[in-house]
Amino acid sequence: MINDALQNRRTIIAIIFSAVIVLFIIRLFTIQVIETKYKEGADSNAFLRKTIYPPRGLIFDRNHTLLVFNKPAYDINLIIREIHDLDTLAFCQALNIDKAFFINRMAEIRDRHRNPGYSTYTPQVFMTQLSSEDIATIQQSMYKFPGFYIQNRTLREYTYASAAHELGSIGEVSQSRIDSDDYYIPGDYAGRDGIESTYEEQLRGEKGVEILLRDAKGRIKGRYDNGKEDIAPKAGKNLTLTLDIRLQLLAEKLLNGKMGSVVAIEPKTGEILAMASNPSYDPSVMVGSQRSKNYIQLMKDPTKPLLNRATQAQYSPGSSFKPVQALVLQQMGGITSHSMFACNGPESYPIKCTHHHGSPVSLLDAIEQSCNPYFWNAFKTTLEKDGYGEKNAIFRKNFNEWEDRVKSFGLGRKFTDSDIYDQSRGFIPSEKFYNRVYRSKTGWRAITIRSLSIGQGEVLVTPLQLANTQAIIANQGFYITPHLNKSDSMLKHIHWVKVDPKYFPIVNEGMWRVFEYGTGSAYKISNISMCGKTGTVQNSHGKDHSIFVGFAPRENPQIAVAVVIENAGFGATWAAPIASLMMEQFIKGKIERTDLLNRISTSVTNYHVKER
């Protein structure tokens, strides 16, 4: 019995000792492998791992003109555990900051909720995006402030105060981006919008690391192992855009004093040649330490300069929609190229005509003269060609076909395979939409939705979409997704619309007549065959919008254009001359009609900004 008791005590003691040893091993493993703070502490005593940021890729236009490049910038970083005997007042004076800023910033750095990556051993960002002038004062006295050091960076610089919406900007990364991409740490910058955001991974490059050796007192003694363990940064890749900066500058000049946008596309490739929105801003104001302040001012501006009207604003297309309507209605068999309808001018009912011309009207004349009654009757005839059927089933079937074919022109949807940042969808109404509005399947008919026939009512498009419809007509049935990256292999992104190519020639001729004999004839370029369509769009918030769409030359289209000038009246007054000048610049390489250029670029439309 005694031996049994002794044996039991030995077993218990052995178990206790074993448990202690196991716990000790686990704790050592945790400290040395799992927990990083001890390793960070040990490493920071011996080394300073300094991140070397790569220069961002340069951005060029289609003709290799430099648009965006880099200039030196600096951050002030710190390592908390190395700060001692800091003369706060002298430090603040050197950086031209007040003590309150210093106290608040240090509190932000130590706040683990706002700065989840905080550690007393690792570098933290104190101030960012300082210029060479900002850093000059403190650079010579950094030795007085142990724990603080200068981090080299680069900031964006712009050759032209142009194309702000397209180029985009750089800003400090959010915590969510840090969490989703281990490339970034707090204080890093990344593309926030535009091309800078879309091609961030290509432009940003790869970071490098420089390992510096410390002595026992933490002073830098030089590079570790003569730099053999350093990692060199890799510069970001350069980007060539489809934009023609000369054409872009012209578009912005023509929009001076006006609210609206201009989009120009090369039809055969889908390349964006120019995409201007006004009011806009100088992209350089979104760079450096004043970015946040300037951004807030732009946000508060009632003219909405941050809104890219070319891709985000949505308008009723008005008569600029009639070429698309003519193609779809022919395809559906509601009309032919020989179909004729009566027009009584302003006395027409239920939709009036804004012009006086002969009657009956052919399809060619209807496009040239922008005859509203023709397109209303063509629309009605097409939707009602098979009758209405029980509960409007046959009529609704035809309407659904109309919607599907119209959407195939890239309307009512975003270009999801494009690199264009921040697009609006526009709107092409559906059967479901009207069933909901009229609370039944039988509560709406052709007469109810007659405004659709002339591009009014519920139809909404963006200027980018309008320009793309012209590329489709120029190509006689297809488009390449509109895009901004010149080197991108986009020719495979071809989309055929749901209209047979045989229906395009008559629409093409009708649009040619607009420049030869119709509302665009005053702005025809000599010796160039041009196609176009004016639009004067009703606007419930003020004066009508002025719209023009077109392409040139007719035989071998090189440029398709859409122009929208808000609250400016007739399409032929403002939008048409702007489109014509854009075509002239791109096709001829210069503007010969200097009087027209000067008149349009110095004129101011009476647009009204409604407070929101």
Please report the DSSP string for 114-167 in residue order: T-TT--SSS-EEEEEEE-HHHHHHHHTTGGGSTTEEEEEEEEEEESSS--HHHH
- The CA–CA distances, whole Å, from 342 to 214, 315, 359, 361, 513 equal 92, 29, 5, 6, 20
Q: What is the pLDDT of residue 37?
A: 47
Q: What is the pLDDT of residue 100?
A: 93
Bond prior to 72 in cis (omega within 30° of 0): no
Contact 134, 71 (CB under 8 A): no
Q: What is the pLDDT of residue 64?
A: 97
Q: Sorting pLDDT into bands at 50, 70 and 90, what band is 464?
A: very high
Q: What is the pLDDT of residue 7?
A: 65
The 3-class secondary structure across 62-95, one letter per residue, is CCCCEEEEEEEEEEEEECHHHCCCCCHHHHHHHH
Torsions phi, psi for 66 (to 5 deg)? -70, 125
Portion of the chain with pLDDT greater than 70, in percent: 91
Q: What is the pLDDT of residue 229?
A: 77
Highest mean pLDDT among 115-119, 473-477, 520-524, 573-577: 473-477
Q: What is the mean pLDDT of the chain?
A: 89
pLDDT-wise least confident of 37-41, 533-537, 603-607 = 37-41
Q: Alpha-carbon dihedral of residues 506, 508, 509, 513, nearest 10 degrees?
A: 140
Q: Sorting pLDDT into bands at 50, 70 and 90, what band is 606?
A: low
- For residues 294 and 552, give the distance between their C-alpha atoms in angstroms, rounded to a whole number: 40
What's the Rg (C-alpha) of the chain? 33
Amino acid of residue 536: T
- Give counts: helices (H), strands (E), the chain: 20, 17
- The two beta strands, 531-537 and 494-496, are unpaired
Which one is predicted more confidently, 18 or 124? 124
Q: Sorting pLDDT into bands at 50, 70 and 90, what band is 221?
A: low
- For residues 79 and 148, give the distance between their C-alpha atoms in angstroms, rounded to a whole number: 7
Portion of the chain with pLDDT greater than 90, in percent: 65
Average pLDDT over residues 304-325: 96
Highest mean pLDDT among 31-35, 129-133, 295-299: 295-299
- Predicted confidence (pLDDT) at residue 510 exceeds the cutoff of 50: yes
Tokens of 171: 């800003």
- Predicted confidence (pLDDT) at residue 358 exceeds the cutoff of 60: yes
Q: Sorting pLDDT into bands at 50, 70 and 90, what band is 105?
A: very high
Q: What is the pLDDT of residue 174?
A: 87
Q: What is the pLDDT of residue 605?
A: 85
- Predicted confidence (pLDDT) at residue 186 exceeds the cutoff of 70: yes
Contact 252, 280 (CB under 8 A): yes
- Predicted confidence (pLDDT) at residue 607 exceeds the cutoff of 60: no
Average pLDDT over residues 542-548: 87
Q: What is the pLDDT of residue 149?
A: 86
The angle that helices 99-110 and 88-95 make with each other, rounded to 10 degrees, is: 100
- The two beta strands, 208-214 and 47-52, are antiparallel
Query: Residue for token digits 């390992």?
Result: 211
- The two beta strands, 260-266 and 239-240, are unpaired
Q: What is the pLDDT of residue 41?
A: 46
In 10 A of CB 345, how many CB atoms? 14
Q: Sorting pLDDT into bands at 50, 70 and 90, what band is 193?
A: very high
Query: Residue for token digits 């929609």?
Result: 321
- Predicted confidence (pLDDT) at residue 265 exceeds the cutoff of 50: yes
Which one is predicted more confidently, 492 or 578? 578
- For residues 514 and 512, give the distance between their C-alpha atoms in angstroms, rounded to a whole number: 5
Q: Sorting pLDDT into bands at 50, 70 and 90, what band is 39?
A: very low
Amino acid of residue 237: K
Q: Sorting pLDDT into bands at 50, 70 and 90, what band is 281?
A: very high
User: How many Cα atoms within 13 Å fall on the side-chain side of residue 486?
Assistant: 16
Average pLDDT over residues 529-536: 93
- For residues 430 and 400, give the distance between their C-alpha atoms in angstroms, rounded to a whole number: 7
Please report the DSSP string for 10-56 in residue order: HHHHHHHHHHHHHHHHHHHHIIIII--HHHHHHHHHHEEEEEEPPPP
Q: What is the pLDDT of residue 4?
A: 60
Say how many Å lie between the first and final Cα of the chain, rounded. 95
pLDDT, tens only, 380-429 = 999 999 999 999 999 999 999 999 999 999 999 999 999 999 999 999 99
- For residues 209 and 214, give the distance between their C-alpha atoms in angstroms, rounded to a whole number: 16
> Smallest Cα–Cα separation from 252: which of 484, 539, 545, 581?
581
Burial 240-267 (b: 16+ CB within 10 A, else e): bbbbbbbbbbbbbbbbeebbbbbbbbbb
Q: What is the pLDDT of residue 553?
A: 97
Q: Is the dihedral of CA 452, 455, 458, 460 positive or negative?
A: positive
